[in-house]
Amino acid sequence: MCGITGFWSTPASADELVSRLDPMAQAILHRGPDDGGAWVDARCGIALGHRRLSILDLSPEGHQPMFSASGRYIIVFNGEVYNFEELRKELPGVMWRGHSDTEVMLAAVEAWGLSAAVRRFVGMFAFALWDRQERRLYLVRDRIGIKPLYYGWNGRSLLFGSELKSMRRYPNFAGDIDRTAIVAYLRHNYIPAPHTIYREIYKLAPGAIVCFTDPQKREVATEKYWSATEVALAGQRQLYDGTATESIEELHQLLRTAVGLRMISDVPIGAFLSGGIDSSLVVALMQAQSARPVRTFSIGFAEQDYNEAVYAAQVARHLGTDHTELYVTPREAQEAVPAIAGLYDEPFADSSQLPTFLVSHLTRKHVTVSLSGDGGDELFAGYTRYHWVDKVWRNLQLVPRPIRAVVGKGLGMFPPATWDAAVRPLARALPAHNNYSTFGNNLGKLSRLMMIRDATAFYRDFISHFVDPQSMVQGATEAASVFQTANGWGALPDYISQMQVLDIMTYLPDDILVKVDRASMAVSLEARVPLLDHRVVEFAWRLPLSLKIRAGQSKWILRQVLAKYVPPALFDRPKMGFGIPVGQWLRGPLRDWAEDLLEPSRLNADGILNVEAVRRLWSEHLAGTHDWQYQLWNFLMLQAWHKSVRSESMLTAPLSHVLSDHMSVDNGFAHN
């Protein structure tokens, strides 16, 4: 696990290129504290930087940037290719210098070509490959989007990096805020690909290879070597024809292999354990393949509605792991909140980002690699919202469209505040936990949902934090996303499968995997996600929905595999979110922090958010008449991110002393 960065600009002296690259690499030091390297070609104006977290081949032979055997290719690579030993056996005659996966990747590219090689890689990866013969720069990202990779233009320079932090260090970085991206962020609580918070800077799509032949041309040649939609459609066309028992065993073996590959490491390894189905299954498969107790880690909270640590401890005891748990006091968690936005490259408002960071921080004290159970909900229909949306959509189809339109318009005639005032007298008779409602806002949302004709738009609006996010941003429309484009998923046989593939294309890479990557890499911890092995993903799409949901039980087939190792009594319980009590904290210990970020003069100075609307939601939340915790968290993470970026420049230090002993300079073209 590492961090990569670099640029391609006009020719310049080696010293000039290095002076630009140094700060970019320093900005991602946390991704690779063990080693640093740089390579520049003065004639071409190309510069590649690398920060290394040593996991495989801890010797200098694993150092990057790394040249291929012929000297034609040079690579900077972030991630792991787990099947490198298998690929090595298929590359006879190579004089190996070390035993890193990076060296095998380069040999595979030389032997088979880039596209064919990448299709044979099993793992998580994002890398830049410079072809010195053709003078072409390639950027490649893994199939699911586990590892991040950004690229874009700043003046006459093409920039790339694992994080936007590195690109912001490029001299005279423009950093023009894209307001359309902020609108999309307020809807989803993340900025959907390919957009970023900055104009002309983009996220590389999962499963893509892009090629650049001229840094100043905004032309991108893209090859999609893997597509979630195509995999889903292909799987549903060729459904698994075995029995339920056979499907359970085949999935069991696929998962066992995926977990086993991700246990390959030259440094200590462990696992996150929440006690839920996914993480418990990963840990169970690890322990089954380990001669010693697996190190497991969990975080607990005093607030019982947010505490899964007790369940994790029960699973750990049953499996016999070496378990470590940390109960975080409210004060400790709250003290970490103001700094959490600085871990992310752009506004990001999934509140589970805090416990994810805390468990990563705990884990890194003991191991360097940790396995995670992410991906099970998207692959095996585990989210509760799938069932709710499917049910509501089917019921609405029973109502004639004209009647739905009339009812929808009627509900939308009055603003949310009017509805809230009408039901407020009734609220006193409701249980205490219902007093802080969003009744009017929910009715407004329902009125809009009733008039939607398209299933994709219905799902998008159902999961939106704001029904009309454009009203919250001054002078901006909403950036387009896959929710507005037809990409074939409508051909899937059922609505739940359509929602799954939409989440695999959006929510999974842009929220879940971003959260895990930034939280873990902030403390120099490598997080691996075996459930997202692409072979597991492809098999999951061959399963009929009846093996994912049965008798009202989600993730049915995963439960059957887990039951081979853990009694169902330890994991059969309602799904819990991995969040924090944001609403309570904003009215209490986080109130001053939030008030400072949402202060009218600050909002007016930024000139982005609708100040009156933001202040209204804040006032209503403080008064207890509404619970706007999720919407306010969006505002606060935007403001906190903006504040962290403004202060970043004061934290930058030169990296020359780190890179000077590990830098190679190419002043010519034909160097071997």
Per-residue pLDDT tens for 240-254?
999 999 999 999 999
**pLDDT of 111 higher than 50:** yes
Q: Which CATH fold topology does 229-333+346-381+502-570 show?
A: Rossmann fold (3.40.50)
How many whole angstroms separate alpha carbon 594 and alpha carbon 182?
19
Are 648 and 165 a contacting pair, CB within 8 Å? yes
Are 137 and 9 a contacting pair, CB within 8 Å? no
The CA distances from residue 501 to 234, 381, 541, in Å, are 13, 10, 10
Cβ neighbours of residue 382 under 8 Å, at least 6 residues apart? 277, 278, 376, 554, 555, 558, 575
Where exactly does CATH 3.60.20.10 map onto the chain?
2-226
CA dihedral 323, 327, 332, 333 (to 10 degrees): 90
Which pLDDT score is estimated for 112? 97
How many whole angstroms separate alpha carbon 51 and alpha carbon 63?
9
Which pLDDT score is estimated for 540? 98
How many whole angstroms separate alpha carbon 542 and alpha carbon 237?
8
Looking at residues 572-582, what average pLDDT do you find?
71
Mean pLDDT, the chain, integer: 89
Which pLDDT score is estimated for 619? 95
- Size of the chain in residues: 672
Looking at residues 601-630, what average pLDDT do you find?
93
Higher pLDDT, 659 or 493: 493
Where exactly does CATH 3.40.50.620 map onto the chain?
229-333+346-381+502-570
**Which of 591, 647, 662 shows the shortest CA–CA distance to 18?**
662
- Mind listing the pLDDT tens digit for each residue in 639-668? 999 999 987 754 443 333 333 333 344 433
* Among 449-453, 471-475, 642-646, the range of highest mean pLDDT: 471-475
Which pLDDT score is estimated for 659? 32
Whole-angstrom distance between the N-terminal and C-terminal Cα of the chain?
27
Looking at residues 377-401, what average pLDDT do you find?
91
Cβ neighbours of residue 619 under 8 Å, at least 6 residues apart? none
Per the structure block, which two tokens stand in for 201? Answer: 């800077």
According to CATH, the superfamily of the domain at 2-226 is Aminohydrolase, N-terminal nucleophile (Ntn) domain (3.60.20.10)
The CA distances from residue 491 to 394, 485, 609, in Å, are 17, 14, 39
Which pLDDT score is estimated for 513? 98
Per the structure block, which two tokens stand in for 520? Answer: 């873990």
Looking at residues 482-487, what average pLDDT do you find?
77
Q: Which H or E run contains 379? A: helix 376-379
Which pLDDT score is estimated for 584? 87
**pLDDT of 598 higher than 50:** yes
- Mind listing the pLDDT tens digit for each residue in 149-196? 999 999 999 999 999 999 999 999 999 999 999 999 999 999 999 999
Per the structure block, which two tokens stand in for 182? Answer: 């902020």
Q: pLDDT grade, residue 671 (50/70/90)?
A: very low
**Which of 180, 147, 174 shows the shortest CA–CA distance to 162?**
147
For strands 35-41 and 201-203, give the pairing. Answer: unpaired
Quote the pTM value.
Answer: 0.91
Which pLDDT score is estimated for 348? 97
Looking at residues 17-44, what average pLDDT do you find?
94
What whole-number percentage of the chain has pLDDT above 70?
Answer: 88
Q: pLDDT grade, residue 406 (50/70/90)?
A: confident
Q: Which H or E run contains 202? A: strand 201-203
Positive or negative CA dihedral for 404, 406, 407, 409?
positive
Which of helix, strand or coil describes residue 205?
A: coil
